[in-house]
Chains A and B, each alone.
Chain A
Amino acid sequence: MSASDADVGAVVTGIGVTAPTGIGIQAHWQSVLDGKTGIGRITRFDPESYPVRYAGQVPGFAARERVPGRLIPQTDHWTHLALAAADDALGDAGVDPAGLPEYEMAVVTSSSSGGTEFGQHEMERLYRNGPSWVGAYQSIAWFYAATTGQVSIRHGMRGPCGVICAEQAGGLDALGQARRLARSGYRLVVSGGTDSSLCPYGLAAQLATGRLSTVDDPLRAYLPFDAGASGYLPGEGGAILIVESARHARERGAGEGYGSILGYAAGFDPPPGSGRPPALRRTITAALADARVDADGVDVVFADAAGSPDLDRAESAAIGAVFGRRGVPVTAPKTLTGRLYGGGAPLDVATALLAVRDGVVPHTVGVTEPDPDLDLVLGEPRELPLRRALVLARGHGGFTAALVVGTSHR
């Protein structure tokens, strides 16, 4: 890579995690390497009467310990999780935003559900008591952009801010946009995302897709690429990543941080019944081309791992078409968390960067009868030198994205 390439690159210099696998990078990464699941019976409400009763929930999160007092009553749990992760990510990056020009910092996050739990509470007040009982904060707390806005206000970041709503693919789209901003001159972008929709209203909305698993066993309900695949379990949380321009990171001595965002592409599936193939294969190809690497340049794939047989087959076919049959190690640590929607892909990217850092591919927990066409990493983590990881994500309705992260050195 030439010096000018390095100057226009985007690097990840900080990570904050609030996920079912733990709070903080260390707790999360240790859980992933140990194969310790964060999925259990839903405790945020009584799920007894619902066909899905298990989910990934963030253990031991207390908003009053992690979120400024003024922000707690005016934001949803999903934003609490992001505010805490953003603090951790900035601390991890060693950045004090107060010392940087406010218009050179931006916030771009993903959100799939918005503040459904907050909204449910206010709707209950509406139909039980009347309109005057609906709180003023409902106007801002439910909104998809609430997390981005509150992070922007809290840290004084007034560059181009936005939110991307593309279900599970949105996290990669947000990081793709963060990279675009960093490459066009902005110093720092707070990106990634979280989601949390574990309330009756939120779960009912998720059930409508028909993609959730109703298997009554938290360890057997979400088994992507397995002969017993039956759908997925939902989860809450995600990861916030600090994306910096490579030049700025280098100038302040942060080097390449955890690694670079090397390539990104997005696609959208054709309508059902069109006969045309899904977008994933060409999205992967486009992301590799954007990263200027060929298939041999990718050492591991973090799969979308939808958990439904038809979607798993489509993903396996796309990976096989680009990398060859069993041509690249594939993993899906998200079986430990459930699918986190807007938070899922940022957590996968964080995990992928930690994998590259430590030279170890975490295993996919739970799967026992894997798709024979995939080299799915099972049983235990696999140690091997890693330069680059490809992270895939698909969102309900056709959203598709692919991101290549790792070292920019060839």
Chain B
Amino acid sequence: MTSFTLDDLRELLGSIAGVDESTDLSGDIADVPLADLGYDSLAMLELAGHVQRRYGVPIPDEAVERMTTPRSTVEYINAQFATVG
């Protein structure tokens, strides 16, 4: 089964939504609120679109509300992988 890691998330966030100069995505960010890292709901919609296109898993818009930290985002995406097998 495909799995989605924190490093996958770091790479995707950096490439699609950019990184603020004051933010270090390589650090221990798993439980830092995404808003504190500079990623708002629009950034998460952008992320959801990329994950859907790259991996072919559905990410409904409402899911963005559950993706509040990198950890919860990775967990949610992996749960979606499981549903499609």
Chain A nearest CB: distance from B2 CB in Å?
A: 19
Contact across chains for A136 and B49 when beta carbons are under 8 A apart: yes
**Contact status B52-A132, CB under 8 Å:** yes
CB pair B17 A70 closer than 8 Å: yes
Residues of A within 8 A of B66 (CB): none
Question: Are B18 and A73 in contact, with the CB atoms below 8 A?
Answer: yes
Q: Which of B26-34, B38-46, B67-75, B77-85 contacts A (4 or more CB under 8 A)?
A: B38-46
Identify B49's interface contact among A69, A74, A135, CB under 8 A: A135
Known: A69-B19, A69-B20, A69-B21. A74 touches B42 (CB 8 A): yes
Nearest to A73 among chain B residues (CB) is B18
- B residues near A6, Cβ cutoff 8 Å: none
Q: Which residues of B contact A137 (CB under 8 A)?
A: 42, 46
Contact B53 A74 (CB under 8 A): no
Interface residues of A in 52-77 (CB under 8 A from B): 68-74
> Which residues of A from 102 to 155 have beta carbons under 8 Å from B?
132-133, 135-137, 139-140
Number of A-B contacts (CB under 8 A): 38
- Smallest CB separation, A337 vs chain B (Å): 29
Contact of B35 with A by CB under 8 A: no
Please name all residues of chain A whose beta carbon is closer than 8 Å to the beta carbon of B21 when the two chains form the complex.
Answer: 68-69
Contacts of B42 in A (CB 8 A): 74, 136-137, 139-140
Whether B16 pairs with A70 at a CB distance below 8 angstroms is: no
For A68, what are the chain B residues with a Cβ–Cβ distance below 8 Å?
18, 20-21
The A-contacting residues of B in range 1-34, CB under 8 angstroms, are 16-21
Interfacial chain A residues near B53, Cβ < 8 Å: 132-133
A71 CA to B43 CA, complexed, in Å: 11
Check B20–A70 contact: CB distance below 8 A.
yes
Contact indicator B18/A69 (Cβ below 8 Å): yes
A residues near B46, Cβ cutoff 8 Å: 135-137
* Contact pick for A73, options B17, B45, B49, B52, CB 8 Å: B17
Measured CB to CB, the nearest residue on chain B to A67 is B18
Question: Would you call A74 and B52 a contact (CB within 8 A)?
Answer: no
Complex formed: what's the CA distance from A73 to B13 in Å? 11
Q: Which residue of B lies closest to A133 (CB)?
A: B53
User: Which residue of chain A has the shortest Cβ distance to B14 in the bound complex?
Assistant: A69
**How many Å lie between the Cα of A74 and that of B42 in the bound state?**
9
- Give the nearest-CB partner of A140 in chain B: B42
Which residues of chain A come closer than 8 Å to B18, judged between CB atoms? Answer: 68-74
CA distance A73 to B16 in the complex (A): 7
Which residue of A is nearest B38, CB measured? A70
Q: Which residues of A contact B17 (CB under 8 A)?
A: 70, 73-74
In whole angstroms, how far apart are the Cα atoms of A139 and B52 in the complex?
19
Determine the chain B residues whose CB is within 8 A of the CB of A74 once the complex forms.
17-18, 42-43
For A72, the closest partner residue in chain B by CB is B18
Query: CB-nearest residue of chain B relative to A129?
Result: B53
Interface pairs (18), CB distance under 8 Å:
A68-B18, A68-B21, A69-B20, A70-B17, A70-B18, A70-B20, A70-B38, A71-B18, A72-B18, A73-B17, A73-B18, A74-B17, A74-B42, A74-B43, A132-B53, A135-B16, A135-B46, A136-B46
A contact residues vs B (CB 8 Å cutoff): 68-74, 132-133, 135-137, 139-140
Please give the residue numbers on chain B whose beta carbons come within 8 Å of chain A beta carbons, in ascending order.
Answer: 16-21, 38, 42-43, 45-46, 49, 52-53
Smallest CB-CB A-B distances: 4 pairs: A136-B45, A136-B46, A69-B18, A70-B18
Given A74-B43, A132-B52: 10 more A-B contacts, CB < 8 Å = A69-B21, A70-B17, A70-B19, A73-B17, A132-B53, A133-B53, A135-B46, A136-B43, A137-B46, A139-B42
